[in-house]
Structure 1
Amino acid sequence: MTSRTTRTGGGAGADPRDDPSHPRRVLAVLLLACICFALAQTLVIPALPQIADSLGAGTSSTSWVLTGFLLSASVATPIVGKLGDLYGRGRVLTWVLVIFALGGVVNALAGSIEVLVAGRILQGVAGGVFPLAFGIVRETSPRERVPSDLSLLSAVFGIGGGIGLPLSGVIVDHADISWLFWINLVALPAALAAHRLIPSTPAAHRPRIDWPGAVLLSLALGSTLLGVTRADAWGWSSPTTLGLIGGGLVLAVLWVAVEARVTEPLIQLSVLRQRAVAATNATAMMVGLAMFASFLLIPQFAQTPTSAGYGFGMTVTGAGLLLVPSALTQLLAGPVAGRLGVRIGFRRVLALGTSFSCAAFCLLAFAHSSPWEFVVAGILLGSGICFAFAAMANLVVAATPPAQVGIATGINTVMRTVGGAFGSAVAAAILAAHIVASTGLPSEGAYTAAFAFSAAVAVVATCAALLVPRQVEEPAPVPVAVID
């Protein structure tokens, strides 16, 4: 059976791949969509104190601007990926971008912290752009371009952090903070371009959505992440924190039990049990942990006044600029990672990426007296994150049936987010445990310990990467939508 869809422009029966420029234009739209979400994820972090002041909110309430977004994105990502598998990824991507832009308007006009948090939760739905983009690349890019295109899209996940933090500093220092959210309206032209350029190919057989499985997965992720992200405020040993994390694990077990029994599950458990997918997901969690730890540690270290005996006394903007070398490296390394993966295998690229990340954190643990050391570490870390994310996307797509690509890559993306939540929380806990009474600041040894912890996590990630089978099947060709 041949799936049919409609796209503005083009003659009857035209194949989108017949136009040599079409895959490039589609990729440009996907890159813009992904950068929208990646920026929204980190843009507010340096501005939280200013947001609290402008809305008259407390620190605890303001932290929900980040927590609500994180929870929403984690819950929405696998479900949006599944909806794309069923109803057509182009169509779902268009609506996700519109919802994201609407959330940005709500945020920009918010007069209270409650409205702002609601807008951020609405924007979190855009977490699904990554699994949608991965599936669209598999459908529309020429076969020989798929690895490099997936690699470039994957790099955006880390690039957003490297660009978002310094951009936030510039906005906070020189403009109204509402521009942190008005900038999200760039998603609207991306949505229009997605509607016009990306064919929607619904599944030939459209099964019912496994709503019990979707609800259980959402509750498991939400409970676990809420416990982790609020552990700094509630305490890691508090009954609330332990109850939420433990409850999330119990719900995850129940989700597995439900998925094993239904005829049309949210995702085939056999896909998750594949060694390539399981090892890649474990690596994703570790890499996400280390990456988000760096987002917290590096700017905070750089902003520490030199009177503390370490740090550089930088502004928010200056501290964010230390992450720019990492972002630029990822932008340049994305296509390189794709070509290298085709030559030596993405298993090796994944292990290289985690090894580079380990080297970066080892450098920072023992050499952090000068900004140039952070620049060198940033280049290493950027290369490592880019190689790792590029390899993970390619490995999961290669090991997954076409009908399961959206949900499978969605879960891999969620594993990065879960790891990132742990990374930020653990790094903050290490710093909080080593406060110097005379300054009220963490000791230099606290940063050394936090960087060393991140290096150890990268070692574990390397071990997980080496568990990926040496040979992962090349992605099977997928039918291309017929354009009416």
Structure 2
Amino acid sequence: MSEISVGLHQEDPHTAAPEERSTAYYMFVLVAVLLLSETMTFTAILFWNALPSMSALFTPAQLPWIVSVSLLVAAALQPLMGKLADIFGFRRLVLAVALTYVVGSLIGALTSSFPLIMVARVLQAPAIAIPGVIYSFFRGFFPKRMVPIAIGMSSTGIGVAGIAAPLISGALLAAFGYHAIFWFCLIYMGVFAPIVFFVVPGGPRNRHRVDVLGSVLLTAGAGLLLFGVSEGPELGWTSPTTLVLLVAAVLLLVAFAVVEYRVREPMMDMRLLSGPALRATLGVSLLVGATSGGWGYVIPQLLEAERTAGIDYGFGLSATQVGLVTLSSGIVGMLFGPLGGYLARRFSPRLVMLWCGSLAVMATVAMAFWHSRLWEYVVFGVLYGAFNGFYFAAGPNLVIEAVPARLTGVSTGMQAFTSAFAGSAMPIVATVILSANVLHTDSATHQVVYASRGYTYVFLTLAVAGMVGFVLTAFMRHGRRPATGGAAAH
């Protein structure tokens, strides 16, 4: 059976108009939920910054998977998480996600085995998928006037992760090594998940069907695709192993699309996906999400590398110093997330996405040609922070304005899926580009030194993705009116 029927039929919580309460109460719940959602940003930044210090323990082919595996699994889980939230409610889902995250963090903290670290990162993945569910919760819980700005705030949190994570990762890595990152993740989730569980009201269960077969096909297909891409440079693109991986991935993804058209309640509604409004939004999310994921992967490498003959990058910074250099992007992103939500409500989410695309192109083109001085990372990091804040504010607002309330969970899950998938794929694509531009291997540390042109090619690839996203947004007919928090989509 490809579907499992769960629960009893009750009123859809998304369609029931909640009784409005005081603004102070809504703000308290918002802050509590945002502190939990910071887990996603913490997890990404902490492990991105930890990769250089882990390079002596793991191979270059293994390193990107330490980041990508959790992002990939989270991407595949996004639509399914939306369904589970509809079935069990946001509050119950938070409890289940917190338990898996704590178990995964504990495993990672106690092992140095690469396979077990992969298990730990997979168990952490559901927490990374929480933001897609949060957007649906916001639409059903908050007054419509608060939804666009709440979404903008959720995109960058309240600054705890964006500002503090680089500094925390630096201090922990310098003092205790990468195992301390897992311990920190465990403690953070252990503190804030119970707070959310007790302050967020419970919702009714509803009768929905979980598309098990679709979930398996999508996860397996996407995983084999990324694995094939990562192994291609080492095994050869025409090697039997690489070809089998890529062909199997394509077949599984095609089978997934066929299944989704046939089941009564698909994990990803292909008919909804084919609609012009959602299709355009997801296309932009895929392209701009790749730009965001690639930036976060390569910037720590450029800053922590030792400058040697033949390259124009590298400062030998510690992880703490990297955090200080990139602090500007975290602060700006924290400010531009709520600003993007306000501008979406005041003007339109499409306009915010256009600004986002232009900022992405400016930041990546600048970094492609100017990355030899520290001040360049600070200044261009400001552009990246503004782009990131606008991106995560505009995308969910575009989705919410495009679909009825009953489809919010799966639709925001689709948007989060495409963004997370692009973010998980881009580190592997960047590794492929860099592996084709190796300058030499350091005889003392055995670390690979990449030619400067390799990073230039990576940033230009990110710029192309941002430019195509900008063009798609310019032709988008959807999202040209002020955001209403979903009221116009009923």
TM-score normalised by structure 1 residue count: 0.87
Segment of structure 1 superposing worse, 286-295 or 343-352: 286-295
Identify the residue that residue 17 of structure 1 maps to in structure 2.
20
Partners of 2:162 and 2:334 within 8 A in 1: no
Rounded Cα–Cα distance in structure 1 between residues aligned with 2:239 and 2:393: 38
Segment of structure 1 superposing worse, 442-451 or 44-53: 44-53
The structural deviation recorded for 1:292 is 2.0
Q: Are 2:11 and 1:26 equivalent residues in the alignment?
A: no
Partners of 1:85 and 1:406 within 8 A in 2: yes
Partners of 1:203 and 1:403 within 8 A in 2: no
Identify the residue that residue 200 of structure 1 maps to in structure 2.
202
Q: Are 2:231 and 1:223 equivalent residues in the alignment?
A: no
Matched to 1:455, the amino acid is A
Rounded Cα–Cα distance in structure 1 between residues aligned with 2:129 and 2:297: 24
Identify the residue that residue 357 of structure 2 maps to in structure 1.
354
The structural deviation recorded for 1:459 is 0.5
Identity of aligned residues (%): 27
The structural deviation recorded for 1:16 is 6.4
Report how many aligned residue pairs link the two structures.
467
Q: Are 2:464 and 1:456 equivalent residues in the alignment?
A: yes
Task: Please list the CA deviations of residues 204-225 of structure 1 after superposition, one character each: whole Å capped at 9, or x if unmatched.
Answer: 5x13222222222222222223
Rounded Cα–Cα distance in structure 2 between residues aligned with 1:254 and 1:44: 33
The structural deviation recorded for 1:452 is 2.0
Segment of structure 1 superposing worse, 193-202 or 231-240: 231-240
Q: Are 2:397 and 1:394 equivalent residues in the alignment?
A: yes
SS in 2 for 1:181: helix
Partners of 2:38 and 2:161 within 8 A in 1: yes
Partners of 1:350 and 1:391 within 8 A in 2: yes
Question: In 2 relative to 1, CA 46–475 (structure 1 residues): closer, same or farther, beyond 3 Å?
Answer: closer
Rounded Cα–Cα distance in structure 1 between residues aligned with 2:298 and 2:64: 17
Task: Please list the CA deviations of residues 31-54 of structure 1 after superposition, one character each: whole Å capped at 9, or x if unmatched.
Answer: 12221122112312343465576x
Question: In 2 relative to 1, CA 189–15 (structure 1 residues): closer, same or farther, beyond 3 Å?
Answer: farther
Task: Please list the CA deviations of residues 8-65 of structure 1 after superposition, one character each: whole Å capped at 9, or x if unmatched.
Answer: xxxxxx9663233222122112212221122112312343465576xx7666566653
Q: Are 2:290 and 1:289 equivalent residues in the alignment?
A: yes
Identify the residue that residue 154 of structure 1 maps to in structure 2.
155
Identify the residue that residue 441 of structure 1 maps to in structure 2.
449
Identify the residue that residue 73 of structure 1 maps to in structure 2.
74
The structural deviation recorded for 1:180 is 0.5
Identify the residue that residue 4 of structure 2 maps to in structure 1.
none
Rounded Cα–Cα distance in structure 2 between residues aligned with 1:114 and 1:59: 15
Partners of 1:85 and 1:407 within 8 A in 2: no
Segment of structure 1 superposing worse, 106-115 or 330-339: 106-115
Identify the residue that residue 188 of structure 1 maps to in structure 2.
190
Identify the residue that residue 407 of structure 2 maps to in structure 1.
404
Question: In 2 relative to 1, CA 421–143 (structure 1 residues): closer, same or farther, beyond 3 Å?
Answer: same
For structure 1, the 5+ residue unaligned runs are: 6-13, 479-484
Matched to 1:451, the amino acid is F
Task: Please list the CA deviations of residues 237-263 of structure 1 after superposition, one character each: whole Å capped at 9, or x if unmatched.
Answer: 544334333433332222222222222
Rounded Cα–Cα distance in structure 2 between residues aligned with 1:113 and 1:302: 25
Rounded Cα–Cα distance in structure 1 between residues aligned with 2:419 and 2:231: 18
Rounded Cα–Cα distance in structure 1 between residues aligned with 2:356 and 2:65: 32
Matched to 2:101, the amino acid is F
Matched to 1:459, the amino acid is M
Task: Please list the CA deviations of residues 158-209 of structure 1 after superposition, one character each: whole Å capped at 9, or x if unmatched.
Answer: 98577544532321112343320111222123221222222232465x1322
Segment of structure 1 superposing worse, 17-26 or 371-380: 17-26
Rounded Cα–Cα distance in structure 1 between residues aligned with 2:226 and 2:410: 19
Q: Are 2:101 and 1:100 equivalent residues in the alignment?
A: yes
Identify the residue that residue 123 of structure 2 maps to in structure 1.
122
The structural deviation recorded for 1:112 is 3.6
The structural deviation recorded for 1:475 is 4.6
Segment of structure 1 superposing worse, 311-320 or 152-161: 152-161
The structural deviation recorded for 1:288 is 1.9
Question: In 2 relative to 1, CA 170–151 (structure 1 residues): closer, same or farther, beyond 3 Å?
Answer: same
Q: Are 2:186 and 1:178 equivalent residues in the alignment?
A: no
Partners of 1:346 and 1:391 within 8 A in 2: yes
Partners of 1:353 and 1:385 within 8 A in 2: yes
Question: In 2 relative to 1, CA 415–315 (structure 1 residues): closer, same or farther, beyond 3 Å?
Answer: same
Rounded Cα–Cα distance in structure 2 between residues aligned with 1:200 and 1:477: 23
Question: In 2 relative to 1, CA 438–244 (structure 1 residues): closer, same or farther, beyond 3 Å?
Answer: closer
The structural deviation recorded for 1:453 is 2.1
Identify the residue that residue 481 of structure 1 maps to in structure 2.
none
Q: Are 2:468 and 1:466 equivalent residues in the alignment?
A: no
Partners of 2:221 and 2:248 within 8 A in 1: yes
Rounded Cα–Cα distance in structure 1 between residues aligned with 2:312 and 2:261: 54
Matches within 5 A, 1:243-392: 243-308=244-309, 309-317=311-319, 318-392=321-395
Q: Are 2:51 and 1:43 equivalent residues in the alignment?
A: no
Segment of structure 1 superposing worse, 325-334 or 438-447: 438-447
Partners of 2:285 and 2:415 within 8 A in 1: yes
Segment of structure 1 superposing worse, 234-243 or 402-411: 234-243
Question: In 2 relative to 1, CA 73–153 (structure 1 residues): closer, same or farther, beyond 3 Å?
Answer: same
Rounded Cα–Cα distance in structure 1 between residues aligned with 2:123 and 2:89: 21
Identify the residue that residue 138 of structure 1 maps to in structure 2.
139
Rounded Cα–Cα distance in structure 2 between residues aligned with 1:199 and 1:34: 17
For structure 2, the 5+ residue unaligned runs are: 1-8, 443-447
Partners of 2:42 and 2:165 within 8 A in 1: yes
Partners of 2:440 and 2:450 within 8 A in 1: no
